[in-house]
Chains A and B, each alone.
Chain A
């Protein structure tokens, strides 16, 4: 069990009569590069919201590094190493990129409650924020306000914020959403280059990216996990083909 970074036990969520998530059981091992795919409305983002604590489950448990975090507040889960990015840019419009990432770093190292010393005194934090942005080729835009950044840069900033929390488990909700294909490759190169001990689960619709970067694929349909396996297994599976991929995708598998 010690090499399972994140797991769920019979995780369920219903909104009145709507069963958004039904008894989901899955385990994400340390160092995973897993993809979560499924048609729209399958409940993928809902699952991420349940894992991070944004939504409270109707039943079931969430285990982070073996510990039950089902009742734990979202920010405390982040402190334990579970971080997510958002499908729609959820950023700080008036803050500069550097300010935003510095804020995340300060939160991580626990100094964001200090109201007496100016931010600049925390040189290490600022330097680390700058490094993170540099590693994402964002250094030249770090002084720009977030709302002035191009969409692709904002997507990078989403990831930068997540990286600043030094996650052990990283949940990426369609990281390349809306990003032109050249840039999305670059984005995924960055994701692949992340340290091997981080467990990554990413939701993606672009099958090229999924089959290139995922070592394992989870298929979700109507709130349940239909199937889980290697890219080759998934591509070959008849049920998946019917539900989601369509015959054209098989050639890429």
Chain B
């Protein structure tokens, strides 16, 4: 076996191309810079997109890659938000360490609940994720003396970034801050996806039964993925708390969990960029249509979900892939 190891030249490129940065990816990351230049009045919205994108990315890790259906991911988002908010309110307003705390606290909850998550499937899994979400929401509601309850957490005072950049009224600093954090976490996620661990997550998603049969410790893998996703969601929540300087109960709501699920599915699960694209489309659409009766929004969103499930599984990216393949065949057919 030893002499064949390095000698096969055909093998080396096969995996290498996966992890290389493609031109579409570079183009994608130029878009926020373009947005910054072209839409200086919409930076608060752009900031929201970046935060939602991070949240959706964290869900993609467990849903798109590991195949765990969670209807309670907002628990980590909200816990991160309240952690960062309470820390600042208590007097420590340094943003980066605040994010670390937000991620860490959410990660602890993620690790704790991961023991429950990996032992159940299907309905029980959905119920437990929902249950943890409702539990946290109720707890935050009852503990209004800490969280501010329905009025929300106020007095979240964040110190300037690096001691120099205060969060300005136009939202410039906030947007850049959120974008940079998103990008850094994205890099970590991207590495993870292309690693052996990422491959094993996809294996778990594709066939749960086969994994132990090739020697994989499935529960341990899922727990790790779930915890990492919780940390990422917590950081996203922390970003929201710090950039808006306010935290409301809504960050722990079922609606939040449902929204991020919709964003991810809209963009396309298991495709790394799906959550980012879906978040952008969802947030921008909701903003543009906000003067519409909110109930129309729910109707069309519901219809869109039904249509996506029936005809466009794979979301926007899936649809784009199919169009691309069709075009390639057409072009290939002609020449």
Interface residues of chain A, those whose CB is within 8 Å of chain B, are 52, 54, 73-75, 78-79, 83-84, 86, 90-95, 98-100, 102-104, 106-108, 111-120, 122-128, 130-131, 142-143, 161, 164-165
Contact = CB atoms under 8 A, between A and B. Distances in A.
A243 B6 CA distance: 53
Smallest CB-CB A-B distances: 8 pairs? A115-B197, A92-B206, A78-B215, A120-B15, A75-B212, A74-B212, A104-B214, A118-B19
At the interface, is chain B mostly helix, strand, loop or mixed? Answer: helix
Interface string B214-257: 11111011001000100000000000000000000000000000
B200 A116 contact: no
Given A86-B210, A113-B221, 7 more contacts: A54-B212, A78-B215, A118-B195, A127-B5, A131-B8, A142-B14, A143-B14
Nearest to B11: A130
Contact of B214 (A78, A115, A130, A143): A78
Contacts of A52: 213
Contact of A83 (B206, B213, B218): B213
Nearest to B17: A120
Measured as residues with beta carbon below 8 angstroms from the partner, the interface class of chain B is 35 or more
B192 interface: yes
Interface string B12-32: 101110110000000000000
Given A52-B213, A73-B212, A93-B206, A106 B199 contact: yes
B194 A119 contact: yes
A185 to B, nearest CB: 26
Contacts of A113: 196-197, 200, 220-221, 224
Most buried by B among A78, A83, A84: A78
Contacts of B215: 75, 78-79, 104, 107-108, 165
B12 A123 contact: yes
B12 to A, nearest CB: 7
